[in-house]
Structure formats: structure tokens, C-alpha cells
Structure 1
Amino acid sequence: MTTPQKPVRAAGCVLWRRSPSGDGIELALISRPKWGDWSHPKGKLKRGETHGQAAVRETLEETGMTCELGPELPTLRYLVDDRPKEVRYWAAEAIGGAFVSSAEVDRMRWCPPAVARDQLTQERDKELVDALLSALHATGEVR
């Protein structure tokens, strides 16, 4: 009998900002060349770090943006190389910063929610767009 593996613990943000045009919001998506995908910023927790701290740190590292955490969004659970991974997400408003490409993240783009949903590679990440919109409507951040 095999002992179930502990999940890899990670955290991330669905990063958003008010559109510069004043028409709605935009979401930040990152391109990761290692995986050949478009996703939300996320990463593994460091020792002694809370999920919320990891989400803010990873967002800054991958997007160059500082953010303010909002409502927690659904936790995603999936397998990576046959090992369970659990990623807790938050809605997070971008409050400053600028993107600088790196080996890990080579591009970032701001997109309206519908475009972001189409651009995201993984289906599970697309579900977070709807969760973000619902959370922002519920808190009155966006109408």
C-alpha cells in the first residue's frame, strides 16, 4: 500500500486593474516559456510563508506588480508529474509596478476578461476569470 503524497502547496493571484480607457477591468496574464502557456501568476510556498504572502510575492516576482489581496477565489487541485498540487488563489488589484521579462516569465499582457478567458491555456485557469468577476461584483468593486 502506498502512502498518498502530500500536495505541493502553492498560491497565486488573478491580478486585475481598472482599464486605462475607463471601460471595465483588465486581467494580467503571464507567458511561461518553460511550459509554453499563458496563466495567472502563481508559485510554491517558501518555508514559513503563508499562502497569502506567497501569492503576493509570486505576483511581484512574475509580473513586477505590487498588489492588494481581495477575496479568496477557488483553490485549484491537479496533478503535476503524478504529484498532487494545490493552488490557493486570490483576487488581487494591481497597485503599482512594471513588468520586466525573465527566464521564467517572458511576457505579460493586460486583457479584458473575455479575451483573458480565451488566451489562458488551461481550462482550470479560465474558471478563475468567472470566479474573479463574481467576487468583484459581490464586493461592489465592479458592476
Structure 2
Amino acid sequence: MKQSGVRGLPPQVLSGGQKSKVGMKTERQISSGGVIFRRNPLSIPPLKKGGERGIEVALIAVKEGKVWCLPKGLRENGETIARTAHREVKEETGLDGKIIKLIDHIQYFYAHKEAEETKRFFKIVYFFLMEYTQGDVKNHDSEVNDCQWFP
């Protein structure tokens, strides 16, 4: 999948290192993640009408297990957004999957304080739909507190 530019954003947001009105530099970050799903082998609740099995989605627990979210992470140099999504899902969930399609992206600003300096970031996160192929949620990495399948 070829990575495209981000439409609808002013150039000053995309150029990274720009100073905001309050004098704080804004850095740009790109992340990718995935909605990895499987057809529930146990079908709880029972089979749906027409014999279709229920669908489950893998979520990760972060912030000491208090928040459940989709797996995602920062793009590494030279990676496509699809490759980042695949790598991050595998690392954070212990699951491997086939990318079906790009779902959409979200974008937001946030600030992070390091030592005495506060940095401002503009982050774009791309999410891909992925079908589970193999792996076990018990094999998630130490970045996350837990990983489970949810109906």
C-alpha cells in the first residue's frame, strides 16, 4: 500500500517543528494500528441467523489495565503505514493478521512534558481492518497490561 499525503490540513501543521502562537514547537507524529477480528470459534452467543458465527475484536489494556483500546504505535523510518499497523498489532497483541483495508484515520494535538520542557505534537493515526490468522493474546508484549478478545 502506498502512503499518501494528508489532505485537508494546512501546510504549517504538516511541516513539523513549526512554532505555535504560544511559542511551543509542534512536532508531527504518524502512527498506525489495527482492528483485528476473528470469527468466534465457540460462537458465544450461539450462531447468528443464517449460520454466521459471531465476530470478536482484540483489544489491549493500558494504563495499569484501566483503559481498553485498539493496538497502535509510531511508524519507524522507512515503514509504510500498513507495515507499521501489522508490526504494532503483532507486538502489542501477540496476534498475526492479514490486512484487509485501511478503515480511516484520526488526528489530534497533545502535549507531553519531559523534564522541564513541554512538547506539543500533532498526531495522525491510521487504522486498518485485519483478519486474524494466528497467534495467542497471551503473547502480547510488556508495553501492554493485557490483551483479550471482545464480542
Structure 2 length-normalised TM: 0.67
2:91 partner SS:
helix
Distance 2:64 2:19 in 1: 31
The verdict on how the C-alpha distance between 1:80 and 1:103 changes in structure 2, with shifts beyond 3 A counting, is farther
Distance 1:36 1:79 in 2: 23
1:7 partner SS:
strand
Aligned position for 1:86: 124
Indicate whether 1:71 and 2:101 are aligned: yes
**Pairwise CA distance, 1:103:** 2.9
Q: In structure 2, what residue type is equivalent to 1:73?
A: I
> 2:91 touches 2:141 (CA, 8 Å); kept in 1?
no
State percent identity of aligned pairs: 31
**Pairwise CA distance, 1:13:** 0.3
> 1:41 touches 1:63 (CA, 8 Å); kept in 2?
yes
Any stretches of 5+ residues in structure 1 without a counterpart? 113-143
> 1:34 touches 1:104 (CA, 8 Å); kept in 2?
no
2:104 partner SS:
strand
1:61 partner SS:
helix
Task: Provide, for residues 92-125 of structure 1, a one-character-per-residue CA deviation record: whole Å limited to 9, x for no partner.
Answer: 011001122443111111111xxxxxxxxxxxxx
Aligned position for 1:13: 34
Structure showing greater radius of gyration is 2
Q: Which has the higher strand share?
A: 2
Using the TM superposition, name which of 41-50 and 72-81 deviates more. 72-81
Aligned position for 2:146: 107
Structure 1 length-normalised TM: 0.70
Using the TM superposition, name which of 27-36 and 39-48 deviates more. 27-36
Task: Provide, for residues 26-68 of structure 1, a one-character-per-residue CA deviation record: whole Å limited to 9, x for no partner.
Answer: 0001001368421101000011111000000000000011110
